[in-house]
Copies of this chain bind each other. A is one copy, B any other.
């Protein structure tokens, strides 16, 4: 082992220049410091000829054919969310075979994936790569139960890593709500329908082997085709790929919390004052109650002012579908459907378009959708006075999320608004230093709370516009002081030196690490 030196990110975080189980550390140098020529990697494949069959008798046969061995990286997509059966099914089968030292590259991990904890302990799984993790798995990782540090990426960063070859996938397992006998896949039909399969596209295209696992095997050809036969080696039929109750929520609903509604109203006023709410505008928000309340406020303004937007993007909810159907947006870009209404709309309305994770946020393409975003509504678990945002760890230092598309959309959008209560669970949301930096402050334009609104001082133009309104502007330091008057100054959390997760920015540099609590 070579001696470890310390390197510093542009945000001042000190990192080792080499992390065992991860490799060389390229410290974060700014959101747009990654110039130059980029590469989509070469892919090796075994061609399929007339007469060859892809449907195998069982998962076991597919594992035989894919030659999965110790130390390999296998990938999964998270469109079945907390209803996913596929990841557990595959890892369990590999554990039974005595395979060790697997790295799981899943676009996200949910509580349903709790059995992974046992596989981590037994050495079946020694590496984890994800954009978002919730539940027992990240809790175990935070306690130091994974052999190598986990790697946390962004949605766009994961696609970049796969397509560039930085993240090599030996075998991709594609949970397929519908697959035909020749490997064409869609997510809109079948008992486990989940809508678009945007997060699975790079996996299917760039893995050494791609295996579709379906509980709705149909005759050739499937229609529509979201992932093409030309990328799929084998098709396996199983009883169930997921639990519909965990896959989609019934209806996503706007919050009724009066404080959250005030925040939403203020966020809408910020948007309006920014001058971006105009013909051709674009917008993205999350699926949470407050995020939807912001969408509802925006809807009111767009209707009153007769504004037609170009697109709304992201994970799509029924609420955005309604806005599409009412003609408030010309199209939707959908990387995952959050509810049944979104699935139906994507299936039936040509203006509800899919985007792959790469098209959504990969910074190393000829232009991701986030680059054309005007307004982005973001959440936060912590914000610091440099506007850096943490959505990776809780205030106790335990991993409870990750960037997902947070950093991608913040970087791409003209106006990135963090909406948050000033305090949560008697803790101030504004810190001198956030526990983990997920998204750099340079890409956060304004923080909206119920008590006050802080504009990033970099955005002189925005500050000027907002100064003409009656919005309660203050500096981020003032917001922090205001909160701390009530909550007191939060104590820092104590961590060991051991690094349990590496947080990669979308360009593949390391923006922070998570240390064992």
Contact surface of A with B, Cβ cutoff 8 Å: 32, 34, 37-52, 54, 182-183, 210, 219-221, 223-225, 228-233, 280, 310-311, 330-331, 333, 350-351, 353, 358-359, 362-372, 411-414
Contact = CB atoms under 8 A, between A and B. Distances in A.
18 contacts: A32-B49, A37-B46, A39-B42, A39-B43, A39-B45, A40-B42, A45-B366, A47-B367, A48-B371, A50-B412, A50-B413, A50-B414, A220-B372, A221-B310, A221-B311, A221-B331, A221-B333, A229-B359
A283 to B, nearest CB: 13
Q: Which has the most chain B C-beta neighbours within 10 Å: A230, A362, A365?
A: A230
Contact of A365 (B34, B47, B372): B47
A484 to B, nearest CB: 35
Contact of A231 (B39, B54, B366): B366
Contacts of A38: 44-47
A353 B221 CA distance: 10
Contact of A44 (B39, B231, B330): B39
Nearest to A234: B366
Given A358-B230, A362-B230, A367-B52, A350 B223 contact: yes
Contacts of A364: 45, 47
B46 A366 contact: yes
A223 B330 contact: yes
A362 B228 CA distance: 13
Contacts of A413: 50
A48 B366 contact: yes
A45 to B, nearest CB: 5
A45 B223 contact: no
A79 B17 CA distance: 53
A224 B280 CA distance: 17
Contacts of A232: 366-367
Contacts of A43: 39-40
Majority secondary structure, A binding face: loop
A310 B220 contact: yes
Contacts of A41: 42
A76 to B, nearest CB: 19
A223 B37 contact: no
B371 A50 contact: yes
Nearest to A225: B353
A50 B411 contact: yes
Nearest to A370: B50
A298 B362 CA distance: 48
A209 to B, nearest CB: 10
Contacts of A32: 49-50
A456 to B, nearest CB: 16
Given A37-B45, A46-B38, A47-B364, A223 B331 contact: yes
B52 A224 contact: no
Contacts of A350: 223-224
Contacts of A353: 221, 223-225
B219 A359 contact: no
A129 to B, nearest CB: 22
Given A47-B364, A219-B280, A280-B219, A228 B310 contact: no
A189 to B, nearest CB: 12
Contacts of A362: 230
Given A39-B44, A49-B363, 11 more contacts: A32-B49, A41-B42, A45-B365, A48-B365, A183-B367, A220-B310, A220-B372, A221-B372, A223-B351, A228-B359, A229-B359
Contacts of A34: 47
B45 A40 contact: yes
Contacts of A42: 39-42
Given A223-B351, A311-B221, A331-B221, A230 B47 contact: no
Closest 5 pairs (CB-CB, A-B): A48-B367, A230-B365, A42-B42, A40-B43, A50-B371
B219 A366 contact: no
B46 A229 contact: no
B182 A47 contact: no
Contacts of A372: 182, 220-221
Contacts of A223: 330-331, 350-351, 353
A51 B183 CA distance: 38
A161 to B, nearest CB: 14
A197 to B, nearest CB: 15
A54 B224 contact: no
A353 to B, nearest CB: 6
Contact of A233 (B39, B52, B359, B366): B366
A172 to B, nearest CB: 12
A387 B99 CA distance: 52
A349 to B, nearest CB: 10
